[in-house]
Amino acid sequence: MGIRYREQERAFHLQGPHTSYIIQLNQKGVPMHAYWGRKIREENLQGLLVYTERSSFSPNPYPEDRTISFDTLPQEYPAYGGGDFRHPAFQVQLEDGSTVAEFACTAHRIFSGKPELEGLPSTYAEREDEAQTLELTLKDELSGLEAVLSYTVFAAHDAIARSVRLTNGGRSPLRLLRAMSASVDFNRDSFRMLQLSGSWARERDLYARELVPGIQSIESRRGSSSHQHNPFIALVAPGADEQQGEAYGFSLVYSGSFVAQTEVDQFKTARVSIGINPFDFEWRLEPGESFQTPEAVMVYSSEGLGGMSRTYHRLYRTRLCRGVHRDRARPVLVNNWEATYFQFNADKIESIAKVGRELGIELFVLDDGWFGRRDSDNCSLGDWKVDYRKLPGGLEDLTARVNRLDMRFGLWFEPEMVSPDSDLYRAHPDWCLHVPGRRRTEGRQQLVLDLSREDVCDYLIESIGAVLRSAPITYVKWDMNRNMTEIGSALLLPHRQRETAHRYMLGLYRVLEAITSQFPDILFESCSGGGGRFDPGMLYYMPQTWASDNTDAIHRLRIQYGTSMVYPVSSMGAHVSAVPNHQTGRLTSLQTRADVAMSGNFGYELDLTQMTDEEKEEVKKQVEFYKEIRHVVQFGEFYRLRSPFEGNDAAWMSVTEDGTEAFAVHVNVLAEPNGPLEWLKLQGLDPAARYRVEGSGEVYGGDQLMYVGLPIPRAHVDYKSHAWRLVRL
């Protein structure tokens, strides 16, 4: 790992464990993108860029040299103007109305460690020797606009963290219209673009498409990262798969509206850019003011999508997630939502908890309905006061009842929302996002609080903090159940209204930082109608996310498989729910539901008191088994073995870092009469070692398990699962 500047070539060579990324300054100081891929030696960095005249329709900014055209050259942070007709990385409007800018490098700095981003989540280094950072200072002489491009490489990860800080060094205000976090120009377009897209209850389906001329993009204009598109794309080389070939990943550490796109130009080169969505975005920079973009994390893998994913998993699990729970095993929980919905009282909650304790469950989570007069989803959001009709003794009494069972207690909140039928809204109708004179569109009969306002953020910090101090609460599920409409703030001036959505995100991050810092021992889980805000920005504050409101085990195969492209297993909440499933109506066995949910942070979301004795005994064994393997699942290396998007089954496995233990699952979707015999080839094992399959006692060589595979028992019913626990001898 390291960053070196080679003065002769005016080149910066950024090196990860197995990766090189090279930036070269041209004769005018404009940073060019020279290379990104497998690590190369530094003996000679000539020939990475080719300067040649291509077309009279590709203008030349320097008339004396017709081999230079920004329409054809790969750049690090391209501007609008100067002959580049592709999408720029940034765009600024000057006081005279013009939008042309021209950056050149005026200074650079290389230092150990990684700086924090002011007001924004980001990856981090715990020690200076874990990372090294390059800052390139670029300046537009006419306007005085300055950009500091930041690149961090990690000693233990083949990842590069990029961000940009833009400062108005001139004498007049500027309007920032576009500010991408990263832009990369590839010298070819021979890729498939992979994305994670879907909808509520169908999050992060895997899509891949061949690049064609023009723009291929995903985006959110919803004020959140969204169910529809995750803030991640990857370019995958021809022939690459899970185990081999080149994959380039781009992930945005941000929870608001974003865009990620690939533009293929006339010369069959591809430009990738990712950052805040410029749609309805503007930021006014007064002289001396700065704007910080969110961080983009870029990963290169020569070991296919699996290698890319495991790099993201290790980095995000250990150097994005924070706090005492980062490295702790997550508890097995039971949540009452699908058991009771809004209809419960303290005795009912205690009865579920009692059964949970008998089955070995460690944490009870009280979901929606405990506050205000919350008998349905049409009221009381914002009124964070206990409903004493349901809980006569308050949270203090209920937590005491649960704690006496030797169980921990958790609580659901939806802090960012307000119900029109609430005391908070009646007292402060201007506290929601709105535009004067326009309708206030409701979603789920609620409005969005204006977190661009300091007073609203202060109220949330105080009111949520008061609840968390009132009882020994050890877990919080932080929900958010609608997207933004009529995005405006009562406190912002007219020329700053298009800053509202990003200021909301800055306010949210301020609230999350304050609350998680005040209550460092609480395990926080984020949620947005399930997986509508499953993004790296939220993981910085909350180390796990409820993956989807869809708890159907068979549909979860796709949801959890897609999620694993970027996010570690330790970040995924996964529960066993009742059948028929409440989202799909599907009937699946208790074993299959558990095998799928065990590949995440395991729990139950059903009425345990309604289970038969046989079912309770099975659950008891499941809980006991998960406790034995959760260190493998939550902190091991994850391998996708078979894709639910490509066939009639799915399979995956986790292996401890030292290779001593493994856990593998196979799920057959539909039974096939007289089908072929099949073997499941495992990954990540020591080929020279011997492994025992716990339960059966069978012993296999690691080479046999990986190159021949485990025989898959034939399925004679739909939705049949099999799980194997392996221990190295």
Structure tokens at 92: 């600024």
Partners of residue 154 on adjacent β-strands: 131
Mutual angle of helices 553-563 and 590-597, in 10-degree steps:
10
Catalytic one of 367, 387, 479, 595? 479
Residue 190 phi/psi, 5° resolution?
A: -80, 70
In three-state form (DSSP H/G/I as H, E/B as E, the rest C), the secondary structure along 285-316 is ECCCCEEECCEEEEEEECEHHHHHHHHHHHHH
Rounded Cα gap, residues 234 and 191, in angstroms: 9
607 catalytic residue (yes or no): no
Q: Is 713 exposed, middle or buried (0-12, 13-18, 19+ CB in 10 A)?
A: exposed
**DSSP state at residue 614:** H
Q: Is 497 exposed, middle or buried (0-12, 13-18, 19+ CB in 10 A)?
A: middle
- Determine what percent of the chain falls in helix, strand and coil, rounding each to the nearest 5: 20, 35, 45
Rounded Cα gap, residues 70 and 86, in angstroms: 9
Rounded Cα gap, residues 59 and 69, in angstroms: 6
Q: Is 669 exposed, middle or buried (0-12, 13-18, 19+ CB in 10 A)?
A: middle
347 catalytic residue (yes or no): no
Task: Characterize 168-206 residue by residue with b for buried, 16 or more Cβ atoms within 10 angstroms of its Cβ, and e for exposed.
Answer: bbbeeebbbbbbbbbbbbbeebebbbbbbbbebbbbbbb
Single-letter residue type at 496: R
Structure tokens at 235: 């370019």
Catalytic one of 140, 368, 450, 549? 549
**Cβ atoms of residues 96 and 115 within 8 Å:** no
In terms of DSSP bridges, do strands 601-605 and 720-728 run parallel, antiparallel, or are they unpaired? unpaired
* Residues classed as catalytic: 479, 549
